[in-house]
Amino acid sequence: MSTSSPITQVIPSLTFKNNIEKSAVIYTASVQVAEFSLFSVAAQAKTNITISVFQQHKRAGGSPTSTDLVYEQVVSANTPFYKRFTIKGNFAQIQITNNDAVNDGRVVLTTCGLSIPNFEAQTFLNSTIDINANCALSRNANDFNLDLVRGIHQDFKKINILGITDKHQAETVGLDAMSYFPAAAETLYVVSTSTDDGIGGVGARDVIMEYVDGNGVEQTYTIILQGTIALDLGITGVAVNSIKVSNAGGQAANQGTISIYTNNVASQLLGRLLPSQNVSRFARYRVPTLKHLVVNDINISGFSVGTNLEVIERAAGIDYIIGTFQINTANQQLTYRLDTKVNGGSTLYVRQNPITSSGATSLINININGMLCPAVNNF
């Protein structure tokens, strides 16, 4: 292994601090980078942005013979971004897109060229591996799944889609109603059925909501509850993935049913937290844009007088059933391999369809195990 230190040099024409208008796009100049082993890009913005990195093959003083997109990533507001790139063309160019259609933002971009002796890297971890690519034998001392649960893999996340219901009815399991799927982002509202859930109440006072915005990006938002008063959150979204109590009074749990819906129409339900749950347990998950949800298996336990559970992928307004399971009066417990991939922008959910008349006794517990990954690179 070489002990030589890398030589780092800021590339001025690929570096700037600038305001960017809503929905605007900024391009840097096309700059020669062939003298470096690789170059690094660091950025941060006040709004959600998309960073696109291009490399070009270009003759001196001439037009590019080809321009290739080598990387693209959505970066949330106020989130630092950093990545290194190998030299695949003798020129490089960077594009910044403001994904916020309402607010202007400020962007800080710093690009450095690095000269590292004996550096060799042919691909990204998230790129398709060429069967003829060079490789090195290594031995892993850690467990990937354990590290995934610990949250130490950037851009990878363990996903457990939980659904618990004691209702024998047509519903999205755990939602106590059928799901609503807006075609575009709509204004979000929240309300509780109990006056104890609110400022100074003995129940839930604040909840943290994970939702997907109109750009398909998963966001986190803290809601200060106001009991039975329907509250306009002042934000828009297309889905709610989870609700969790973050602050509570003396009862240490939400006392009522907390519902999140759109356009102040209660039937347009996106998420629900049932009394005393503290963590939502509805079997529905919207995959963020530029992500894939790799689904491993589904675990089902419980009993019913007779019902079907349908695991459904909803894409572009169409439901695709990827598994159907029948639950009966015997206390069942099963694990079934699904081994499927759900693309960004699609929703995975579980629907209950009773075989017998509604109103009978049921208790069903569902856990879908998956991993949220960046979409596979095309470069």
Closest CA relative to residue 325, chosen from 360, 301, 356: 301
Q: What would the pLDDT profile of 161-203 be if each residue is shown by its tens digit?
A: 999 999 999 999 999 999 999 999 999 999 999 999 999 999 9
Same domain, 267 and 291: no
User: In this structure, is residue 26 part of a structural domain?
Assistant: yes
User: In this structure, is residue 125 part of a structural domain?
Assistant: no
- Mean pLDDT value across residues 39-47: 94
User: In this structure, is residue 175 part of a structural domain?
Assistant: no
- Residue 17 pLDDT exceeds 50: yes
Same domain, 288 and 253: no
Specify the CATH number for the domain of residue 65: 2.60.120.680
Q: What would the pLDDT profile of 313-372 be if each residue is shown by its tens digit?
A: 999 999 999 999 999 888 888 899 999 999 999 999 999 999 887 666 789 999 999 999
Confidence at residue 150, expressed as pLDDT on a 0 to 100 scale: 85
Q: Which pLDDT band, with edges at 50, 70 and 90, does 121 fall under?
A: low
Confidence at residue 26, expressed as pLDDT on a 0 to 100 scale: 94
Same domain, 307 and 264: no
Q: What would the pLDDT profile of 20-33 be if each residue is shown by its tens digit?
A: 999 999 999 999 99
Confidence at residue 375, expressed as pLDDT on a 0 to 100 scale: 85
Q: Tell me, letter by letter, the H, E, C secondary structure of 69-126.
A: EEEEEEECCCCCEEEEEECCCCEEEEEEEECCCCCCEEEEEEEEEEECCCCCCCCCCC
> Radius of gyration (Cα) for the chain, nearest Å?
25
Same domain, 14 and 116: yes
Q: What is the DSSP letter of 12?
A: G
| Most confidently predicted of 9-18, 31-40, 107-116, 255-264 | 255-264
* Domain tally, the chain: 3
Q: Which domain holds residue 330?
A: 157-163+284-374
Q: How many CB atoms lie within 10 A of CB 140?
A: 6
User: In this structure, is residue 278 part of a structural domain?
Assistant: no
User: In this structure, is residue 132 part of a structural domain?
Assistant: no
Q: Which pLDDT band, with edges at 50, 70 and 90, does 377 fall under?
A: low
Cα–Cα dist 281/244, whole Å = 10
Its pTM stands at 0.74
The residue from 238, 273, 308 where one domain ends is 273
